[in-house]
Amino acid sequence: MKGILSIQSHVVYGHAGNSSAVFPLQRMGFEVWPLHTVQFSNHTQYKQGWTGTAFPATDLIDLVKGINNIDQLKNCEAVLTGYQGSADQCLAIIDTVKTVKQQNPNAIYICDPVMGDPEKGCIVADGISEYLINDVMPLADVIVPNQFELSQFVGMTINTLDDAVKACQHALTLGPKMVLVKHLHSLSSDKFSMMLATKDGCYLAQRPHLAFDNQPVGVGDLISSLFTGGLLKGWSAEQAFEHAHNACYAVLKETHRRGEWELQTIAAQDEIVAPTEIFPITEIK
């Protein structure tokens, strides 16, 4: 039984982290092995707060060791990581990726480098951003940063499309083979923009910007999972990128239609497999 090891946060209520990423991958036909870095009652943007805790990094190491003990890491096709609850968990991620690749050299590592961004109200523990930039992201085959996270990785300010292309190209020299920028917020106010960069070129995807009173959380986790699924289906990076873009929009559109804050992943599940609205990507010359 081949599977995807998804090491991310988990919320009991709603859709963020593994609660956003696991079902779309299952709906695309994959076995998923969810490993939670934290377990919270709900995502952290609720004004009422949240309850829960981060798990010790030793828990991650022990659980991966258990999977290895039953000789299943050889069947791990990909490691997908997102929100980390401590700097020590970053070290556990590095150890896990190396162990998986020892057992299956064809496995790929997709890193969604969730960093603290005060403007978004996203807070991570001390040391996490530094480990992500210096150790974790260079180890990844694919990184899925937002504009802020990409700028931190490459040490560049991004204000224009040309800046974004240069930042992605620089990121490709630091270890990753693919860069999917899950949100380029400085490009357009009326469109939502994403970018893909590989050795073959850079591609832009844009769709209508949906206005929410409260911006949904877990969108990046959804994008990362959809892109991972596309790659493991054997699609080209460009095909996987376009599908992730279109399927994510479908989920957001259903969420907007229902007037909800939490992603309506279940209600839009058929669109995850076959989106009905297509926004073709364009190559940036």
The reply to whether 243 sits in an annotated binding site is no
The reply to whether 112 sits in an annotated binding site is yes
The reply to whether 45 sits in an annotated binding site is yes
- 161-171 and 147-154 helices cross at what angle (nearest 10)? 50
The reply to whether 138 sits in an annotated binding site is no
CA 207 from centroid of its chain's CA atoms: 19
234 conformational bin, left if phi > 0, alpha if psi -120 to 50, beta if neither: left
The Cα–Cα gap between 50 and 248 comes to 26
The reply to whether 189 sits in an annotated binding site is no
The reply to whether 117 sits in an annotated binding site is no
The Cα–Cα gap between 197 and 221 comes to 19
The reply to whether 44 sits in an annotated binding site is yes
The reply to whether 283 sits in an annotated binding site is no
Residue-wise burial string across 255-268, b where 16 or more C-beta atoms lie within 10 A, e elsewhere = beeeeebbbbbeeb
Residue ranges with strand state E in the chain: 3-11, 31-40, 52-54, 76-81, 108-111, 142-143, 178-181, 191-198, 201-208, 282-283
The reply to whether 9 sits in an annotated binding site is yes
Task: Tell me the two tokens of residue 35.
Answer: 């490993």
- 87-103 and 57-69 helices cross at what angle (nearest 10)? 10
Task: Tell me the two tokens of residue 186.
Answer: 């400085």
The reply to whether 221 sits in an annotated binding site is yes
The Cα–Cα gap between 137 and 122 comes to 19
The reply to whether 208 sits in an annotated binding site is yes
* Helix H or strand E segment including 237: helix 237-257
Annotated binding site for substrate: 9, 44-45, 221
Annotated binding site: 9, 44-45, 112, 144, 149, 182, 207-210, 221
Annotated binding site for ATP: 112, 144, 149, 182, 207-210
